[in-house]
Amino acid sequence: MASSVAGTVSHSLHGDVLDQLSINTIRTLSMDAVEAAKSGHPGTPMALAPVAYTVWRDFLRFDPANPAWPNRDRFVLSCGHASMLLYSLIHLAGIRRGGAGEAGHDRPAVSLEDIKSFRQFDSVCAGHPEQHLTAGIETTTGPLGQGCGNSVGMAIASRWLAAHYNQPDQQLFDYDTYVLCSDGDLMEGVSHEAASIAGHLKLANLCWIYDDNSITIEGKTLLAFSEDVALRFKGLGWRVEHVADANDTPALKTALKAFKQESEKPTLIIVKSVIGYGAPNKAGSHEAHGAPLGAEDIKGAKASYGWPIDAQFLVPAEVPLHFTATLGIRGEHAYNAWKKTLAAHATAHPLLAAELQDMLLGRLPTGWDKNIPLFPADPKGLASRVSSGKVLQAVSAAVPWFLGGSADLSPSTMTHVTGAGDYAPGSPAGRNFHFGIREHGMAAACNGMALSGLRPYCATFFVFFDYLKPALRLSAIGQIGVLYILTHDSIGLGEDGPTHQPIEQLASARAVPGLSVFRPGDANEVAEAYRVVMQRPDRPAVFVLSRQNLPTLDRTKFAAATGVAKGAYVLLDPPSGKPDCILIGTGSELQLCIDASVRLAELGVAARVVSMPCWDLFAEQDALYRESVLPMNVTARVACEAAAGFGWEKWIGSHGRFVGMNGFGASAPAPVLYKHFGICVEAIVEAAQQQLL
């Protein structure tokens, strides 16, 4: 073994010796990278190297030369702290930065130099895996449980794509999703929600491999975790397999073959491992979980592998060749066969093939927005959740891969699409999802669906934004265009009281970089918000929608709603065109600003009304446009919103006034609440006048 590692043995190595050499290369690369960075988690990559290697060598259908191949199997490292395990695999497998004929194909996704710069600034080997940085990473993980949730969306997408595009003689989609997860992943609530969804939907194309090493950062898992995981998952409708030793690769193969043969249930494989396996002084020590091993312990581990103890970042030539001969050749053959099937599919079904091509390129169909309704002026108007539902119907009819559902609230969120069918175990072509009361699992699954080429939306009440925020944050980090439709946006929902009245959620949402937050002021602003969002597939968005009716503005008297595309626009100017003050409103409070401008005019004050449905879009505009809407020389400004005022100082300045909430709401009809909390025309007028004294 030692001589083969040193490179003195020819490429004729085979069988168990070559397998062990490959496994130990993964381990030593992981140890060396963490030691060089003086930061990271070596223990789990060392322990799980045989598990990941077995999946990649014998089961994973993946072409390293075409890492974005749509029908590739997905491999998700939910325990993202073990990122060096994944980076080592990507390097050894020879995954390219781009597919054949694409930019980056001539460069490895992860070079040995990249591994040497693990956890350093601007490295593709970030501390936790980030899918938008590095080819071969399927999703951004790190917060435990998120990869588990994403994988459910990936498995859903495989079934949906197959139901829509496969033909009896042309199978374009049938990929499986493999997940490595840890004790921490399974403790997090999101994984339980996700597992419940997967069991209910009978996602037999989903396999979680659970590293049962009985260690977390604080010590033995028995400090806080003593449940029967197998029994729990059986209760959730999963098949459960057991492997007593992570180093027993034949047993791993047997369990994975059982997964491949399962047709009714997702599979959980429980694998016992010892963290930091192979380092004599660290075996079973939780310190190896979150810190470098140290030079002496690394030497001890390498000695136990028959490895040159002073060699660093050593990759024996046989190992990449072995990955090519197994994973690489298998993936290449599968990809080439798929390309032939795709060509035959295009010839036999040109319209369906054109639709599929649009989806794969992230391109909207021609004329996708032509049937978005134009809402006539109406003083009574519509709740923005209702107008959203009408627009949703039109967009869904035009974009077949636009799909989603709610956390048991579709009658309230207006997100059920007529005629689209329900996604269920027996009907995977349906586009209406019933996620159950699982907001976090819903959002995490939608991230996985989006990463598979679909354009998902999910919905709940805005106050439950907090329940899905961790997954939404990863939508933003990963540039994943999930649409979050969040209704019942303020104290305007009335009698349900403060537990259901979102106050601070708007500020929280607006604080997320890379997230567009829309609070439209009437039905046509809702329509324009959809137009904007659908054309930005790499940016998640939140729609904050009302329960109560909002008047539909007469656009012959007010500026066109197309101004939504710039985030904020001048809705109404005084006849003189020179405002004394500016009133800024969103959502249901936009009408209050309009009414206040009329009252101010009667008092001889010229007020401009600005609609600002999306802060971040407005911030993206050039300085000239921003000045045209909010001129610096007009410092008398009032913003009105039935929410906390945190952040509004950016737009109203240090002299401006905010009319809104500074506490929680109460249980009463909406008009009573607005009057009680002083969110009214009189308060806006008074705030403007005080600044003009």
**Closest to 154 (Cα-Cα) out of 73, 62, 79, 233:** 73
Burial of 171 (0-12, 13-18, 19+ CB in 10 A): middle
**Closest to 252 (Cα-Cα) out of 277, 240, 236, 269:** 269
* Residues 151, 360: Cα–Cα separation, whole Å: 19
**Closest to 23 (Cα-Cα) out of 260, 257, 322:** 322
Task: Collect all residues with Cβ–Cβ distance below 8 Å to 103 and sequence separation of at least 6.
Answer: 97
> What's the full length of the chain, in residues?
693
Q: Write down the catalytic residue from 35, 138, 318, 439.
A: 439
Assigned token pair, 528? 């324009």
In this structure, the dihedral spanned by the alpha carbons of residues 481, 486, 489 and 495, taken in order and rounded to 10 degrees, is -170
Phi-psi bin for 276: left (phi > 0), alpha (psi -120 to 50), beta?
left
- Whether 439 is a known active-site residue: answer yes
Are the C-beta atoms of 57 and 126 separated by less than 8 Å? no
Kind plus residue range of the DSSP H or E element containing 177:
strand 177-182
Task: Collect all residues with Cβ–Cβ distance below 8 Å to 481 and sequence separation of at least 6.
Answer: 450, 455, 475, 533, 536, 537, 538, 539, 540, 541
* Residues 558, 377: Cα–Cα separation, whole Å: 11
Are the C-beta atoms of 193 and 149 separated by less than 8 Å? yes
Angle between helix axes 523-534 and 384-398 (nearest 10 degrees) is: 40
Residue 552: phi, psi to the nearest 5? -85, 115
Are the C-beta atoms of 523 and 381 separated by less than 8 Å? yes
**Closest to 177 (Cα-Cα) out of 147, 203, 207, 148:** 207
Mapped to the 3 state alphabet, what secondary structure does 522-552 carry? Answer: CHHHHHHHHHHHHCCCCCCEEEECCCCEEEE
In this structure, the dihedral spanned by the alpha carbons of residues 129, 135, 138 and 142, taken in order and rounded to 10 degrees, is 0
* Residues 604, 53: Cα–Cα separation, whole Å: 77
Are the C-beta atoms of 204 and 262 separated by less than 8 Å? yes
- The Cβ of residue 138 has, within 10 Å, a number of other Cβ atoms equal to 25
Burial of 411 (0-12, 13-18, 19+ CB in 10 A): exposed
Question: What does the DSSP 8-state code read for residue 245?
Answer: -
* Residues 613, 533: Cα–Cα separation, whole Å: 13
* Residues 16, 363: Cα–Cα separation, whole Å: 47
Helix %, strand %, coil % for the chain, to 5?
Answer: 45, 15, 40
Name the residue with tokens 């060392």. 46
In this structure, the dihedral spanned by the alpha carbons of residues 49, 51, 57 and 62, taken in order and rounded to 10 degrees, is -100
Angle between helix axes 439-450 and 189-200 (nearest 10 degrees) is: 70
Residue 404: phi, psi to the nearest 5? 165, -160
Residues annotated catalytic, as ranges = 439
